[in-house]
Amino acid sequence: MNSRRDFLQKMTASAVAFSFFPRSGSATMNELSDQPYQGPVLRVAIMGLGSYGSRVAEAMQTCKKAKLAGVISGTPSKIKDWQSKYNIPEKNCYNYENFDRIKDNPDIDAVYVITPNGLHREQVIRVAKAGKHAICEKPMALNAKEGQEMIDACKKAKVKLLVGYRMHFEPKTLEIIRMRKDGELGKVLFFQGLSGFRIGDPNQWRLDRKLAGGGAMMDIGIYSINGARYMIGEEPIWVTAEETKTDHVKFKEGVDETIQFQLGFPSGAVASCLSTYTMNNLDRFFLNGEKGFAELQPSTGYGPIKGRTNKGELTHPHITHQTVQMDEMSGIILEGKQPIVPVDGEEGLKDLKIIDAIFLAAKTGKKVDLKL
């Protein structure tokens, strides 16, 4: 696995028709079946036509409640290719200089920002000023200060800000959350999150501090941070961290290679996590309680996710994560639906505050208190 974005998807004919367990809070059969959908449809423009933008676009082809309506890119050839492939009209195509004009385009409801982290703040604020809802890929920004500015801008413009937390709609993940909420695992004691892979091209933007905001932590470590929060069901109150760097050429100053970090929670539960760009085969969550346990491995890849608990294997069928995500986000934006696990700007801000604290703890060697 060279990159977390290189996971292979398996799209089967049955995927669109399957039903999640109702008690997991996921999409219903009506939303994912072949029955004609009669409700509101979210018309989305994708900003950033790279590998993940392409993955989202493909997944949206089977959405019921969301539609790919426009594109925003700095590469004219990509715009032409997407126009042809997805039948996107010229009037819904923009570049990074002129996309503020979406303000006058009634055919676009929301913009999904899938660009390097360092561009998120400015682009989301511009989307908000244009009066469109913003969906931003994670991490939402480079730090908590930027994240708060994005939230404030969207509130001022009276538009919604959502973050691309696809795992918040994944059925096996939601089943473990249900079990924990229903007390089936007993008091939660411990969470382990392992997130990492060996990164390739040393010249890519993910290893550029200005564009990425760091290294592995911003790209893959955020999964363990977010996972610890939704698996334990509490917000951490302290963090400790230690950084290890073996390659100072590839991982320059401010670009983390490997960080081990620990989170403490009000109930006394603790989390022990690893974020790295130098080790493969690290995609595992483990939750331990007084009455049982739950494990996901792989836990955050593009699928299928595999899981088991003390009661046995989790057998929920796989469906493309981004398809479910975009349909569910349509419901949140257009119908006011409330997801089991939040995906709003405030959720993204909490992760950024924790990341800021992890970097500080790793730098100082001291425990850092958290107030989320």
Tell me the catalytic residues: 138, 223
Which alpha helices (DSSP H) does 68-190 contain, by range? 76-86, 117-129, 144-157, 171-181
Between CA 217 and CA 202 the distance in angstroms is 16
Token reading at 322: 């981004």
Q: Strand, coil or helix: what is 101? A: helix
Which alpha helices (DSSP H) does the chain contain, by range? 29-32, 51-60, 76-86, 117-129, 144-157, 171-181, 209-212, 216, 222-232, 321-335, 345-364
| Closest residue by Cα to residue 26 from 340, 344, 342 | 340
Parallel, antiparallel, or unpaired: how do β-strands 270-276 and 258-264 relate? antiparallel
CA distances from 170 to 80, 266, 321, 323 (A): 33, 26, 7, 11
Between CA 326 and CA 168 the distance in angstroms is 12
Between CA 360 and CA 355 the distance in angstroms is 9
Token reading at 319: 């469906």
- Taking 3-state DSSP, the helix, strand and coil percentages for the chain, each rounded to the nearest 5, stand at 40, 20, 40
**Contacts (Cβ under 8 Å, ≥6 apart) of 241:** 259, 260, 261, 262, 358, 359, 361, 362
Between CA 71 and CA 93 the distance in angstroms is 5
Give the chain's radius of gyration (CA, Å).
Answer: 20
Which helix (H) or strand (E) segment holds residue 210: the answer is: helix 209-212
- Cα 312–Cα 315–Cα 318 angle in degrees, nearest 5: 150
Between CA 33 and CA 20 the distance in angstroms is 12
